[in-house]
Structure 1
């Protein structure tokens, strides 16, 4: 009995959250934008702002401009003031639920800490949703030095979405979505649509996955995001040879790569109909692939067998001749879809090979199936890879023609 009382007394003294802090006493960071330090600065403009958004740095050079999107914990969520005194997210029209502050420097950790000079509360990173990096920043330093701070800090979550933009990154986190939700949440949720849109290269491309791939010296792809006027869109992907940025691939190439890697749960494949102007849309429901390497003397090639099952999702016939429930018509559509899938896969493969980036993971397959061959050629793989052939075989089965026949 005495022991129980002692345990209860101890529990009463140590219970509770010793580091508890009320929500209104934190500044929640929802998204981060990373640009080069001189981003947005033109001769004769922005000099006063640049001096404010910086600090005395004893070593090195000013390399990055880091911008934080901070959630406004306030009733009504009216428009906020960014560090430059302008309403954050003005691109989207109307006030949003966030505001943006920026700072420049070399160490991202030091830059973030110095931002406390612009904040009335501590900065809290456990709810960060997205990190957007400008092309200029990754061209200068590569992606690994930039994300190192986020991988090491205990507050960061490894499911944070990563994006690369060809322009400046800060305007994307200033954007106010039409839904008026916090911009970081909006940006992260776009990536989650990848399961139904094969044009979005966001499968297994978050902070944790990218960090692991870089540690294993793998080539990587990061979704490309752009903003034009009031429209923000994720389209295509930025490719990296290990850590170094090498270029972009478009939406069709992304779809081809994803068909090989089976990273989508659905997708739409369009083909022409029997007559000019006709359009048929095949809805992919499920597919299996098998990528196999082959070694024949000094020759290396791969075979890819794809089996797809899906539905006839749309049939626009200008002068309707064929019926969607005609078995002959269905077989013709299956063949057309199979040919289109083959073209798309080869387009994606050729796009990656032209940039020297192994996004189909040929090297991993070759090492797994033929370890002795891999040991002989691994030092010359960068020269061999761009010319490795891929033989594609596709079988498509249409299960349903939809409600309207």
Structure 2
């Protein structure tokens, strides 16, 4: 028995030694940064711009640029002009101290049809490998998207594993490359400036922020839903986000103004911080502004025979942010407060119906009325889904009920 025990102990010891040796060998093989690349050895793409191939190249100098940006394509045609905003890092020297290297941006462009083919060609304008992990924004010109819809331009970015699905997408009626060259007053790169501005959509009712990222666009396209993309404009040294472009079946439909954008957000219940502006009926020309703090909506479809209509119940709370005719109103009296609440409710109704009728005219269900019908009345949805956008949605009715509570009239009466 003693011999058996000694053999068992020896066997365990041997296995432990073998395990330790294997652990050491594996650790040596996998340790270290065998594929390490310093940050300054990479060119990080911060923003992407997609234009028509001939957009912005009308001058004599433009012809020379077009020649340099050209390359021989075995297939396809010159449809798009692809531009990258590149972040360039330079290492710090000893006098500057650690982490004091300099950063700058530059823009490179090429023309073609395949996004991946153009990216490989752009590598000829860069002495370092292009990386897409930190792309902040994709800017598309409406002239480019009118050529063939969204899919040819965004398919690569949906497939590329380096791309983040929270990347912001915007559209412009001008040249997209010029926005990459824009120098924001904050000093940051324009790609980061645009992305940070879009993240503040909760503070701007004129900017659509719901379902507008790269991943949301991919999901909407795959499910054959409408796509909403924020609009950006550049005028000299001023960049502004406001309004949106609507796409159906991946094709550009039209732009929607800021007022309709705000109404759509109120209709969908996604607007949690906004202002409602209305004119005082007792003092024409004098404005009053209600500041929204909380917002709850409930939309429900109803069926009467073959008629479909919707009810939208909204509850709002907020403060009076501005009253240009304040001295003519005694806002301490409850009766005066109730009168203001009704005026605000009427203004909200007007804004929502303005947006609703625009969506109906465009024949685009931008606020998911169809999804509500499918959830509440699946049998009716089965009957109308094939001709919902073209025939049914443009003819439905919306009954809006708004309940407003003013919590405060401000620090000064």
Compute the TM-score of the two structures, normalised by the length of structure 1.
0.92
CA shift digits 1:265-302 (9 cap, x unpaired): 20011122342333221111111101111111111111
Q: 2:69 aligns with which of 35, 53, 63?
A: 53
Whether the aligned pair in 1 keeps the contact of 2:40 and 2:88 (CA below 8 Å) is no
User: Secondary structure of 2:77's match?
Assistant: coil
**Greater mean alpha carbon deviation, residues 152-161 or residues 378-387:** 378-387
Once superposed, which parts of structure 1, at least 4 consecutive aligned residues long, lie more than 3 Å away? none
Structure 2 residue 237 is matched with structure 1 residue 221: no
* Separation of aligned partners in 2, 1:374 and 1:18: 58
Q: CA deviation at 1:325?
A: 2.5
User: Secondary structure of 1:72's match?
Assistant: strand
Whether the aligned pair in 2 keeps the contact of 1:143 and 1:244 (CA below 8 Å) is yes
Q: Name whichever structure is richer in helix by fraction.
A: 2
Please show how residues 328-343 of structure 1 align to structure 2 within 5 Å.
328-343=335-350
Q: What's 1:192 paired with?
A: 199
User: Secondary structure of 2:328's match?
Assistant: coil
Q: Gaps spanning 5+ residues in structure 2: where?
A: 1-15, 93-102
Q: What's 2:401 paired with?
A: 393
Q: 1:238 aligns with which of 245, 259, 266?
A: 245
* Separation of aligned partners in 2, 1:44 and 1:295: 64
Q: What's 2:120 paired with?
A: 113
* Separation of aligned partners in 2, 1:18 and 1:263: 48
Please show how residues 360-379 of structure 1 align to structure 2 within 5 Å.
360-379=367-386
* Separation of aligned partners in 1, 2:338 and 2:23: 75
CA shift digits 1:234-290 (9 cap, x unpaired): 110000112110101100100110011122320011122342333221111111101
Q: What's 2:50 paired with?
A: 34
Whether the aligned pair in 1 keeps the contact of 2:136 and 2:168 (CA below 8 Å) is yes
Q: 2:167 aligns with which of 160, 175, 178?
A: 160
Whether the aligned pair in 1 keeps the contact of 2:293 and 2:317 (CA below 8 Å) is yes
Q: What's 1:82 paired with?
A: none
User: Secondary structure of 2:298's match?
Assistant: strand
Structure 2 residue 330 is matched with structure 1 residue 323: yes
CA shift digits 1:306-333 (9 cap, x unpaired): 1101111122227x22123222221111
* Separation of aligned partners in 2, 1:16 and 1:217: 47
* Separation of aligned partners in 2, 1:175 and 1:364: 40
Structure 2 residue 297 is matched with structure 1 residue 289: yes
Whether the aligned pair in 2 keeps the contact of 1:253 and 1:347 (CA below 8 Å) is yes
Aligned residue pairs, count: 386
**Largest Rg, 1 or 2:** 2
* Separation of aligned partners in 2, 1:401 and 1:75: 55
User: Secondary structure of 1:46's match?
Assistant: helix
Q: What's 1:268 paired with?
A: 275
Please show how residues 195-214 of structure 1 align to structure 2 within 5 Å.
195-214=202-221
CA shift digits 1:90-147 (9 cap, x unpaired): xxxxxx9311000000100010111010001000110000000000111111112211
Q: What's 1:132 paired with?
A: 139
Whether the aligned pair in 2 keeps the contact of 1:97 and 1:181 (CA below 8 Å) is no
Q: 1:305 aligns with which of 309, 313, 316?
A: 313
User: Secondary structure of 2:321's match?
Assistant: strand
Q: CA deviation at 1:18?
A: 3.7
Q: Gaps spanning 5+ residues in structure 1: where?
A: 77-95
Q: 2:109 aligns with which of 87, 93, 102?
A: 102
Structure 2 residue 84 is matched with structure 1 residue 68: yes
